[in-house]
Structure 1
Amino acid sequence: MTEQQKQAGLTYAQAGVDITAGNRAVELMKGQVRSTFRPEVLTDIGGFGGLFALNVGRYEEPILVSGTDGVGTKLRVAMLMDRHDTIGVDCVAMCANDILVQGAEPLFFLDYLAVGKLVPEKVAAIVSGVAEGCRQAGCALIGGETAEMPGFYAEEDYDVAGFCVGVADRKKLIDGSAIRPGDVMLAIPSSGLHSNGYSLARKVFFDHAGHSVDTFLPELGKTVGEELLTPTRIYVKPVLALLEKVAVKGMAHITGGGLTENIPRVLPAGTQAAIELGSWPVPPVFTVLQAKGNIAGAEMLRTFNCGVGFILVVSPEEADQAVNILAAMGETCHRIGVIEPSARGAEAAPDVVYSGLMAWERGKGE
Structure 2
Amino acid sequence: MQVRTYQQSGVDLDRAQALIRAIAPLASQTYNESVLQGVGGFFGAYAMPSGYKEPVLISCTDGVGTKLKLAKEARQLYNLGLDLVAMNVNDLICAFAKPLFFLDYFATSKLEPSQTLALIEGMAKGCKEAGCALIGGESAQMPGVYAPREFDLAGFCVGVAEKSDLNKKDNIQAGDILVGFKSSGLHSNGFSLVREILKSKPKSAPSLDTLLTPTKLYTPLLALKDKIHALAHITGGGLRGNLERVLPPTLSAQIELKALPDMPVFSWLKEHLELAECLKVFNMGVGMVAIAPCENLKVLEKAGGFYLGTLKSGAQEIIFLE
Distance in 1 (alpha carbons) for counterparts of 2:11 and 2:155: 23
> Given the alignment of the two structures, is residue 134 of structure 1 paired with residue 130 of structure 2, yes or no?
no
- Structure 2: unaligned runs, 5 residues or longer: none
Report % sequence identity: 42
Counterpart of 1:47 (choices 41, 47, 51) is 41
> Given the alignment of the two structures, is residue 274 of structure 1 paired with residue 259 of structure 2, yes or no?
no
- 1:92: Cα distance to partner? 1.0
Where in structure 2 are the equivalents of 1:75-224 lying within 5 Å? 75-205=68-198, 207-208=199-200, 210=201, 220=206, 223=207
Counterpart of 1:232 (choices 204, 207, 215) is 215
Name the structure 2 match of 1:300: 278
Counterpart of 2:24 (choices 5, 19, 30) is 30
- 1:196: Cα distance to partner? 0.4
- Structure 1: unaligned runs, 5 residues or longer: 327-331, 343-347, 357-366
State whether residues 177 and 267 of structure 1, in contact with CA within 8 Å, keep that contact through their aligned partners in structure 2. Answer: no
Name the structure 1 match of 2:296: 318
Distance in 1 (alpha carbons) for counterparts of 2:166 and 2:94: 9
Distance in 2 (alpha carbons) for counterparts of 1:334 and 1:318: 11
Aligned residue for 1:112, secondary structure, equals: strand
Runs of 4+ in structure 1 off by over 4 angstroms are none
> Given the alignment of the two structures, is residue 21 of structure 1 paired with residue 3 of structure 2, yes or no?
no
Aligned residue for 2:135, secondary structure, equals: strand
Q: CA deviation digits over 1:262-285, x for unaligned, max 9?
A: 011101111011000011323111
Choose 1 or 2 for highest CA Rg: 1
Greater Cα offset, 117-126 or 24-33 = 24-33
State whether residues 175 and 310 of structure 2, in contact with CA within 8 Å, keep that contact through their aligned partners in structure 1. Answer: yes
* Counterpart residue identity of residue 312, structure 2: E
Distance in 2 (alpha carbons) for counterparts of 1:42 and 1:202: 43
Where in structure 2 are the equivalents of 1:55-74 lying within 5 Å? 55=49, 57-74=50-67
State whether residues 94 and 233 of structure 2, in contact with CA within 8 Å, keep that contact through their aligned partners in structure 1. Answer: yes
> Given the alignment of the two structures, is residue 354 of structure 1 paired with residue 320 of structure 2, yes or no?
yes
- 1:175: Cα distance to partner? 4.9
Distance in 2 (alpha carbons) for counterparts of 1:176 and 1:35: 36
- 1:28: Cα distance to partner? 2.1
Q: CA deviation digits over 1:16-58, x for unaligned, max 9?
A: 1111111222222222111111210001321111000102x31
State whether residues 113 and 145 of structure 1, in contact with CA within 8 Å, keep that contact through their aligned partners in structure 2. Answer: yes
Distance in 2 (alpha carbons) for counterparts of 1:174 and 1:302: 28
Name the structure 1 match of 2:234: 254
Name the structure 1 match of 2:308: 336
Aligned residue for 1:39, secondary structure, equals: coil
- TM score, norm. by length of structure 2: 0.96
Corresponding residue pairs, total: 322
Counterpart of 1:241 (choices 220, 223, 234) is 223
* Counterpart residue identity of residue 243, structure 2: I
- 1:323: Cα distance to partner? 1.8
* Counterpart residue identity of residue 239, structure 1: L
Name the structure 2 match of 1:12: 6
